Each structure stands twice: as structure tokens, then as C-alpha cells.
Structure 1
Amino acid sequence: MIEFMGKQLENPLIASSCIATESVSNVLRLAGNGVQGTILKSCADYERGRVSGKRDFAVDKKLGYTYASAPFESEILTLDECLEMLRTLRPQTEMLLIPSFTASSLAPEDWIPACQQLEAVGADGIQLDFFYMGNLIGTDGLSGCIVSLLRELNTALRIPVMPKLNINLPKDYIMPLLVEGGVKYVSLLDSVRSPYFRKTDGIYHISDRLDAESTSCFGHWQLPLTISYTYTAVKHGLKVCAGGGITCADDVQKLLAAGAVTVQSATFLTRYPNRWSKLFDE
């Protein structure tokens, strides 16, 4: 058995925030396939307007790249939608439920009220999704802002928070700040911004429809980055929920060997929604 965020898990696999965790039916489907923990699709405290554009998704199986792009309102749940998901799920399942929340700044007042609401309806922990805030490095007083936010969240909540990192927050810079802020758990590694490629007549070209700044690229090539971040986090005493391009059981074993407590996957789930058990059966 594995203890993570107060839950006892029979295996270390957790469904990462992705298409597979954005609805009640999807999460219950995962539970029925043996998944014991899930990070819900990220949400934000905003009012959804008329959505323009659509979610786009492509896989290059030969090169191992996966690309995804969507307007913010197609990609991100509203806080109300996530709260309703938790209200519906909590009476139906004992699985580890970790909503993911994002805000537009590091100001505690932009995070604490929403996180308290998520806690009140049954969250076991909360992932703090810094991905949608862009590149924070270079912001005046960034280190102090991160530590202050984490300390205030830990004071305001009874459940743990788990920052989700990306390569815009260098590992040797951010890990000591998480410890200073009182964090015990860390989630990594988020997808990387990249141009979106299309294949026409056997030739790849950058799409002229999708903005590279709004496009995520993820896949097996991320694994060395994730392993490096995992080693650094473990060195600082953090409990790691590692992920980033998990495509087979061997990838899971590598991250567990690097010191991760649990391993999350979005790439595998998105590409093979009915084959999740392959990761832990092997």
C-alpha cells in the first residue's frame, strides 16, 4: 500500500489533469478501471462566455510527440463546474480526488477562497497549477510571493496543496522555495509550450491556425526532464507525484526508482483511454 495525501493506494498510478479527468463520467470510468487517484482538469474562478475556437489534438506516433491546443475557455473548467464535479463524485467514490486550480496572479486572495470551497466539497488535496500564469521568472519579488502564497494557503486549509511545476520554474530555484513555504507534495512536470506541427504530403509544417504560445507539446521526450526534477525534489524531502510523457510501464518504474511516491499520466490516458491497466499490470 502507498500513502499519498491521506489515502492508502494499492498502486502508485494517478490520472493526471487532462481530458480524461474533466467530467464525472470520465472519472468514474477511470475508477472502474482500477485508477485510485485522479487530478481533475484545472479550473479557474471565472465566468465562461461564448467560447471561440475548439480543442485540437494530434499525435505523431513515429516521433513520439503529442500536441494539444485550445482556447482558455475550451480548456479550463470554471470553479463552479469543478465544485459540482466534486459534489457529485465524493458520495460515489473513495478514490483520491485532487482538484487543480489556477489563478492569474500569486496574490493569496486570488487562491484562498476558491481552494477553501474545493476543500469544503470533498477535495483530498489541491493542485496549484502555475502553468497558465506564463513565465514568472524575472517578476519582481517572485521568491517572496511564492513563499507567502504557500504559507497562507497552508494556514487557511486543512488539506495539503501540491504545486504543479513546469520548466519555466527551474528545479534548483523552485524546490527550496516550496520547502520554505511549507509544502510537502509536488506535481511535475507540466507540458511545454511549442509550435503546433501538421503533416501535409509527408512534410511537417507549423500550423498557421494555432498560436504557438497557446499550444502544449508533451510526450516521451519529457521523461529525462521529469526524472531530473524528481531527483531534485526528493533531495529536498518533497513527496513527488511525477509525470510527463508516461507511455509504458518502464517509464513508471524509472520514476519510482528516482524516488517518486506516485506517478501521474495524461499522455498515456489521452492516447489509450481503455488501456490504463497496462501500466500497472506490467
Structure 2
Amino acid sequence: MEIDLNHAVTEVEKNATCNGGCHKEQATASCVCCVPSSSSSSAVSSSSSYLELWHACAGPLTSLPKKGNVVVYFPQGHLEQAASFSPFTPLEIPTHDLQPQIFCRVVNVQLLANKENDEVYTQVTLLPQAELAGMGKELLEELGADEEGNGRTPTKTTPHMFCKTLTASDTSTHGGFSVPRRAAEDCFPPLDYKQQRPSQELIATDLHGVEWKFRHIYRGQPRRHLLTTGWSIFVSQKNLVSGDAVLFLRGENGELRLGIRRAVRPRNGLPESIVGNQSCYPNFLSSVANAISAKSMFHVFYSPR
């Protein structure tokens, strides 16, 4: 099952050329504009938090196009990606006489999260632009200059974030999550250190909109910040192991978010609903060819990790 974060994203702040990182496509698309339903300051802050958390989970080298960009779609790269997840390789793969490079306009970018393993991925809706094919080298150079000018990293809007690789103690069912003091004081609401055992309840929302409740306490000798009650449930339900990383982020409106980066990356971070039916993977190029012929939209899915 895939979760659509599009409601919480204002716009992807990156430019890139879409290459062989696409795994599977659909020729039928429904365009959903990447604009939050509310224009209030809290909604904008929430959108920024989700956007930054998604990129933090995706990793610092992730580069995405944004709505309106011109990108290049490579059928051969797409085919090779899809074939790598198939249990068999056919003797002949029809190419439908597609050009090796197809210029497309980005109609929509959706930031998504796989509920099966919390891996983030993207659905990009593309509209073929046959009239740009003749521009060739000049257009590619222009795209490269645009990407270089905008940079690979979006403008950081929320500095209150930390990422910790889990230890064996952090994932023990009898322990808690040890939080570095500087990180706790930066990301979590302030504790009343005048109390004998300073503590508070934290509510953090993951990429699927699910709220997790933790007990944040400052105790021990020497004293340290811990997440206790609720943490073992989170570890169990997310199947976390030592080496996985957990990210906490606090938005400007005070909302606390959390995400996960797996230590062992799944071979494919996309949901089974997208890659499960691999027996017909050679046929998706026919859908791309039909979309190009009809000048209609098609989807590609990209798993950044």
C-alpha cells in the first residue's frame, strides 16, 4: 500500500533529468496539483516539515524534477530497471520503435511512502513533448545549466532535526531510545529541570500520518534523555533493528515528525502493488508508446534509495 504525501507538499524544490531510476509506469494518469488544501501559515509549515522529512529519509543525493521542468525519459534504462526485478528474461523484448531519448514535460510530482517498509519513493507524471526532440544538444545543455544553478539540495527551512543510528540497546524490548542531549533540547519541547524526574509526553507523526506517543524522561546516572513508554511498540511495529536510523524533525509550528532509514536497503523500495505483477513487464513500453502517440500522460516511479 502506498501513501500519498501530496496533500502536505507545496512543491518539490529540485531540478533534475529523469533517467534510468524509474521502475514501472502506468499510461493512465490523474493530475493532482501539488498545493496544500489550506493557505494558512500552519498548513504551510506542516507542508515544509513533510517535504524536509521526505528528503531526509530519501538521502542527501536525491535529486528530483519539479512541476513544469523538461526532462528526458530513457526507455532502455526504464526497461533494464524493470527487467532486474523480473524472475525471468524473455528472449526478445519489443521496443515499439521508441526513440532512445524522449523529451517530456513534468506535469506532477508526488512524494510517496511505502507503508510496507517506510521507504520513500516518487511518482512522476510525464507529458511527451515531441516538438522538443529537434532541439537536441542545445536543450540538454540548457537543462544541465538549470540544474547546476539551482543546486542539488533544497533550501533548508527547519534546522530542528536529528538522525540517530539505532544501537542494540535502542532496539531492545526492555530498554528505551537514548537521545543525545543537544538533539533532545533542540527538537523536543523543553523539560522542567526543576522536577525530580523531568518528563513529558511526546506525539510524533510519521510519513503516513500515524501518530506515535512516547514518554520523554531525563534520568539516570549520569542523567540522559530517554524515550521510554511507547518506544518498544514503535520498534516492534516498524520492525526496526540495530543499524537502522530514526529521524526526528520539529517544524516551525512545533509539530514533531519522525521517519526511518533502513540499514539494509530493500532490493526494491517500491510497493508490491506497483512491482508485484512483473510477468508482463515488457508490455509497459507499449503503454508508453501509446501515450506518446496520443500525446497523453504516463507515470514513472522512482525509488531514490
Q: Which has the larger radius of gyration?
A: 2
TM over 0.5: no
With the length of structure 1 as denominator, give the TM-score of the two structures: 0.25
Q: Relative contact order, CA 8 A, sep 6+: which one is greater? A: 2
With the length of structure 2 as denominator, give the TM-score of the two structures: 0.23
